[in-house]
Amino acid sequence: MSTERFDVNGVTLSVTTEGPVDGPPVLLLHGFPDTAELWRHQVPALAGAGYRVLAPDLRGFGDSSRPVDVSAYRMRTLIGDVTGLLDALEIPSAAVIGHDWGAGLAWAMGMFAPGRVSSLVALSVGHPSARSHAGWEQSELSWYMLWFLLPDVAETVLPRDDWAFLRQWGWREPSDGVDEQRQVDALARPGALTAALNWYRANIDPKTFGMPPDDRLPHVTCPTLGVWSDLDPFLNEAQMTESSRFVDAPWRYERVIGVDHWLPVRAPEQVTGLLLDFLGGPR
């Protein structure tokens, strides 16, 4: 895999690229607290199947720029980053695949830049209106988001004792520790933790947290696959299955059994198989 740097929308994005330049483009969007490394299993598999794969370190993460202002992480700006990347590569539209906040960004692209999204895959996180319909259970699971909004609190607590809370809270199921350490190393870089938390601080309003759902958000109009795992401690199933109500196109849902939140690294072969099947197989 190779890494390129692109100046777009006022920031520099570090982008992992692989696959034939004339292949169907696939854009992989990671979430918190990850980098493009989250997709290390899927990138070579998709490229080997003939797809042109782009996996950026999103704004605030990895080797990409980390603006200081919270307002620099608002969703409309994040959409501008990825559409700017497509513009820089002269790609009219791409299959957009996201996990966690990357899934939130993928949904936002489908809603507000529909011409740039040929198909959409959301891992773990459903349509934002569907999340609002998922009930108090989902609000309780999302308690940490309110904590992340408090200035300097998470920055003080998370790094304590070699990031013990992040390791134990984020990775409750047994693991080999590789991806835990990868996340810790990325967040420990100067300014990286605050930049990552700014995704929450710029896009979540504590005044409306847990309020009745807002169904005025646009529907998605491209073929969409939603994938949820039954051991996810942060997201319930309803916020994904209810997403079908907000997709005015073919909708497919897949439940992955015995896997926690980190689908691309916990179930790499299953996730890759679902992606290839949804995208239409090898080119």
Provide the 8-state DSSP code for 74: -
Structure tokens at 268: 């790499």
User: What single letter denotes the amino acid at residue 90?
Assistant: E
Instruction: Based on the residue annotation, tell me whether 100 is a catalytic residue of this protein.
Output: yes
Task: Write the CB contacts of 80 (distance below 8 Å, at least 6 apart in sequence).
Answer: 8, 9
Query: How many distinct helices (H) and strands (E) make up the chain?
Result: 13, 8
Spot the catalytic one: 57, 100, 179, 260. 100
Instruction: Based on the residue annotation, tell me whether 41 is a catalytic residue of this protein.
Output: no
Residue 169 contacts residue 158 (beta carbons within 8 Å) = no
| Cα–Cα distance measured from residue 35 to residue 166, given in angstroms and rounded to the nearest whole number | 16
Structure tokens at 111: 């809603």
- Element spanning 184, H or E: helix 178-187
Provide the 8-state DSSP code for 88: H
3-state secondary structure of 216: coil
Provide the 8-state DSSP code for 23: S
Alpha-carbon torsion 94, 126, 63, 199, what sign?
A: positive
Provide the 8-state DSSP code for 50: T
Any idea which residues carry the catalytic annotation? Answer: 100, 261
